[in-house]
Amino acid sequence: MATFMKAVTYCDGLPLILKRCKYVTPNRLTFMIKHCSISTQSHENYDIIISGGGMVGTTLACAIANNRKLECKNILLLESGKQFEYRSQEKYSNRVVALNQQSRTLFSSIGAWQHIEAIRYGTVQKMQVWDACSDAMIVFNEDYLMKEIAYIVENDLLLHAVNKQLANKENVNVIYNSKVENIKLPKTPEENAEIQLQDGTKYKTKLLVGADGAHSLVRQTMGTQYVKWDYNQLGIVATLKLSEPAENNVAWQRFLPTGPIALLPLTNCLSSLVWTLPTDEAKRLLKVSEEEFVDNVNNALWKIYPKDGIVESGLRALQQLLEGLSLQSGVVRQLQPSVSTIVEGSRAAFPLQFGHSVSYVQIGTVLVGQDAAHRIHPLAGQGVNLGFGDVTVLVQLLAEAVSTGASLGDITYLRKYETLRQRYNVPIMLAIDTLHRLYKGTAAPIILARSLGLQLTNAIPLIKVKQHN
């Protein structure tokens, strides 16, 4: 007992540890003394520094602090913007995310989902995707076997929910308006990463996480190759009022020759628009009157395009083949809604690009999330979900590293993270890029090929389930 009390006496920062850790037993306290590194200069040295306080970076900070094996670690979150303030208002934001079940589980696990539930979100119980140049279509969850397949949440509300949880994490320090000027990465496992802000403040850390956007300074300092290209398109977003109130729980997506248009359910009378268009056309639609804009939206949803005879014949042949194999040859199409008005001031647009870092990790350094590590076309709504998937896997592996006595910046665990995430992210990214290019084509053979693929996928449940997951 005397030895134990001596260890307690000489453990710097122990009162702070005790405040941070919820469940303390003698064995657990001994473990914390051994493994929890609390510096006497807590404002200069951190176990983990996360550069970038967007949705992914903030969620990562909260998830690490929420993990039983990592809750004692000192975390610094650097946010280049001002402190976020959420103001609940009747008008919906025009920027939303479509969270899948895995992301929903992540937010439930860190306690953030309860705050979203208390305010508002939309649910997708069915998804209908169809080709404007043919009658080909695919429907997910047409029998409503799953209660919900996605959740539509405003970006601001999601960030508010995570920040509310983060406020209770005493081992997380957030610095706003923190412009990073210089980064020095470790060359050996014994070294720490160093980061300097524009005001001259310097910090050291065992693990530097880059969640700092498309122009990530962390990624640039790593010197890793970044593969990217511009789609020469803009994604128009807006909040739309439907012509008739209904049980609005279907996500609609129509592939047009100019790019896909999608409506995501918010309420019984409101939907969120995500419309991909060539840059010049998108800029034109941002300037037209609200009435003309609504007319263009309805035209995009309802316009009947001329059908090519080759495409029609090919689809009929496939239908006969499927019927001969006793497979589902088609689905009952549900008519999409019409739009009556646009919520004033909700129109905006953002550029669409592809980007992927060839490497996600170095010694003591790791990239996470949408933009910093990867960036994809929004047609499948998977960009931010890939980022939240990065968060889940990284936290699991950091907890595993701590359990085995390894350093947080141990390259073995970081490379395992990189391998797991690239095996998951890259196929999805390439598939979405291929889909985008395939639906840009207007030649009959291309339309036929994609239409046959869509109908065949819809007819075989196993393929459809895998595609959706």
| Gap between the Cα atoms of 289 and 280, Å rounded | 17
Handedness of CA 295, 332, 131, 140 (dihedral sign): positive
Cβ atoms 385, 103 nearer than 8 A: yes
CATH of the domain spanning 45-85+92-467: 3.50.50.60
Cβ atoms 330, 400 nearer than 8 A: no
| Gap between the Cα atoms of 294 and 339, Å rounded | 7
Cβ atoms 51, 180 nearer than 8 A: yes
Cβ atoms 140, 149 nearer than 8 A: yes
Burial class (CB in 10 A: 0-12, 13-18, 19+), 332: exposed
H-run or E-run covering 376: none
Burial class (CB in 10 A: 0-12, 13-18, 19+), 116: buried
| Gap between the Cα atoms of 72 and 301, Å rounded | 52
Place of tokens 């209660």: 147
Place of tokens 């037209």: 288
DSSP string for 121-141: -EEESEEEEEETTSS-EEEES
Q: How many CA atoms lie within 13 A of 312 on its CB side?
A: 5
- Name the H helices within 67-154: 101-109, 113-119
**φ/ψ of residue 134, rounded to 5:** -155, 180
| Gap between the Cα atoms of 298 and 156, Å rounded | 28
Residue 219 amino acid letter: R
Tokens of 401: 């590293």
| Gap between the Cα atoms of 284 and 305, Å rounded | 22
| Gap between the Cα atoms of 297 and 284, Å rounded | 13
**Is residue 420 helix, strand or coil?**
helix
Place of tokens 């075989």: 460
pLDDT at 136 (0 to 100): 82
| Gap between the Cα atoms of 338 and 358, Å rounded | 43
pLDDT tens, residue order, the chain (469 aa):
333 332 332 233 444 444 444 434 444 444 344 444 443 344 489 999 999 999 999 999 999 999 999 999 999 999 999 988 888 777 899 999 999 999 999 999 999 999 999 999 999 999 999 988 887 888 888 666 667 999 999 999 999 999 999 999 999 999 999 999 999 999 999 999 999 999 999 999 999 999 999 999 999 999 999 999 999 999 999 999 999 988 899 999 999 999 999 999 999 999 999 999 999 999 999 999 999 999 999 999 999 887 766 666 665 675 666 555 555 655 677 899 999 999 999 999 999 999 999 999 999 999 999 899 999 999 878 889 999 999 999 999 999 999 999 999 999 999 999 999 999 999 999 989 988 888 887 777 777 777 676 766 776 654 454 445 5
**φ/ψ of residue 186, rounded to 5:** -70, 145
**φ/ψ of residue 47, rounded to 5:** -70, -40
Maximum Cα–Cα distance across the chain: 90
Cβ atoms 435, 441 nearer than 8 A: no
- Angle made by CA atoms 105, 152, 387, in degrees to the nearest 5: 55
| Gap between the Cα atoms of 331 and 17, Å rounded | 59
DSSP 358: S
Say if strands 348-357 and 226-242 run parallel, antiparallel, or are unpaired: antiparallel
pLDDT at 464 (0 to 100): 53
DSSP string for 438-452: HTT--SHHHHHHHHH
- The total of other beta-carbon atoms located within 10 Å of residue 149's CB is 21
Tokens of 83: 């402190």
**φ/ψ of residue 296, rounded to 5:** -70, -40
**φ/ψ of residue 232, rounded to 5:** 55, 40
